[in-house]
């Protein structure tokens, strides 16, 4: 966590420096924005800051809903991540004509959201196999599943709206299918959890 804080601080300083340089050298808003969007160094630093922001959101979400990760959850995360990265890279080659900064941001967000889904599934499995689970853990997992379902629905809705507006097959079709699958997985995990709680209350 300390490493992330240090890296985030350095990234923030670098981003502020490049923004200051853009406005100081160009003098006006529009030329400065053009410089920031066309300069390779500026673009890399801004994208890096976006990645740092996503990592911070990841840490906050994990701390609120999951707390500390168990060894089995970390192993699952590592195994799934490598396989998913390869699949995403394959998808990028298919939709290379749609490659842009927005596409890169959407892919990164998809990977992070998928990782949260893997952790949610693993945590539900842990709760099902643990005799005594604190009430806080139940509240956390229900809130987490609801939060992930909301995210899936928002991104799915956004992808479908874009498809309707453009009326052509694009990378949005890929994201729509991905978030539809994730939403289905969350509903399935929630149903499993409800059955487990029902059985536990009946005993």
Q: What is the pLDDT along the chain (203 residues), one digit of tens a residue?
A: 557 788 888 888 988 998 888 888 887 888 888 888 888 888 888 888 888 888 888 889 988 998 888 888 888 888 888 888 888 777 777 776 767 777 888 888 898 999 999 999 999 988 888 878 788 888 999 999 999 999 999 999 998 888 888 776 677 888 889 999 999 999 999 999 998 888 877 76
Report how many domains make up the chain. Answer: 2
Q: What is the pLDDT of residue 181?
A: 94
Q: What is the pLDDT of residue 203?
A: 64
* Domain final residue, candidates 25, 45, 65: 65
For residues 74 and 122, give the distance between their C-alpha atoms in angstroms, rounded to a whole number: 10
Say whether both 133 and 175 belong to one domain.
Answer: yes
Q: What is the pLDDT of residue 165?
A: 83
Q: What is the pLDDT of residue 155?
A: 92
CA 164 vs CA 20, 68, 135, 172, 176: distances in Å: 40, 41, 44, 10, 12
User: What tokens appear for 97 in the block?
Assistant: 């004509």
The range of the structural domain enclosing residue 116 comes to: 70-203
For residues 176 and 136, give the distance between their C-alpha atoms in angstroms, rounded to a whole number: 33
Say whether both 7 and 53 belong to one domain.
Answer: yes
Q: What is the pLDDT of residue 2?
A: 53
Q: What is the pLDDT of residue 70?
A: 84
Contact 94, 140 (CB under 8 A): no
Q: What is the pLDDT of residue 66?
A: 87
Say whether both 121 and 136 belong to one domain.
Answer: yes
Say whether both 128 and 196 belong to one domain.
Answer: yes
| Among candidate residues 67, 66, 83, the one with its CA nearest the CA of residue 121 | 66
Q: What is the pTM of this model?
A: 0.84
CB atoms within 10 A of CB 186: 25
For residues 102 and 93, give the distance between their C-alpha atoms in angstroms, rounded to a whole number: 16
* Domain final residue, candidates 65, 90, 117: 65
Say whether both 123 and 58 belong to one domain.
Answer: no
* Domain final residue, candidates 16, 47, 65: 65
Say whether both 42 and 105 belong to one domain.
Answer: no
């Amino acid at each position: 966590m300390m490493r992330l804080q240090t890296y985030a601080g350095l990234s923030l300083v670098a981003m502020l420096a490049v923004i200051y340089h853009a406005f100081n050298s160009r003098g006006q808003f529009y030329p400065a924005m053009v410089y920031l969007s066309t300069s390779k160094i500026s673009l890399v630093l801004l994208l890096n800051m976006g990645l740092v922001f996503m990592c911070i959101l990841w840490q906050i979400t994990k701390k609120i809903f999951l707390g500390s990760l168990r060894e089995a959850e970390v192993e699952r995360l590592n195994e799934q991540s490598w396989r998913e990265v390869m699949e995403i890279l394959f998808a990028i080659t298919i939709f290379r004509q749609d490659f842009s900064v927005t596409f890169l941001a959407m892919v990164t967000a998809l990977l992070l959201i998928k990782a949260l889904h893997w952790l949610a599934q693993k945590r539900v499995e842990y709760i099902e196999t643990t005799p005594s689970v604190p009430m806080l853990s139940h509240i956390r997992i229900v809130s987490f599943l609801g939060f992930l379902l909301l995210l899936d629905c928002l991104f799915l809705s956004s992808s479908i709206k874009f498809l309707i507006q453009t009326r052509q097959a694009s990378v949005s079709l890929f994201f729509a299918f991905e978030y539809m699958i994730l939403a289905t997985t969350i509903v399935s995990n929630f149903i499993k959890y409800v059955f487990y709680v029902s059985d536990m209350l009946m005993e």
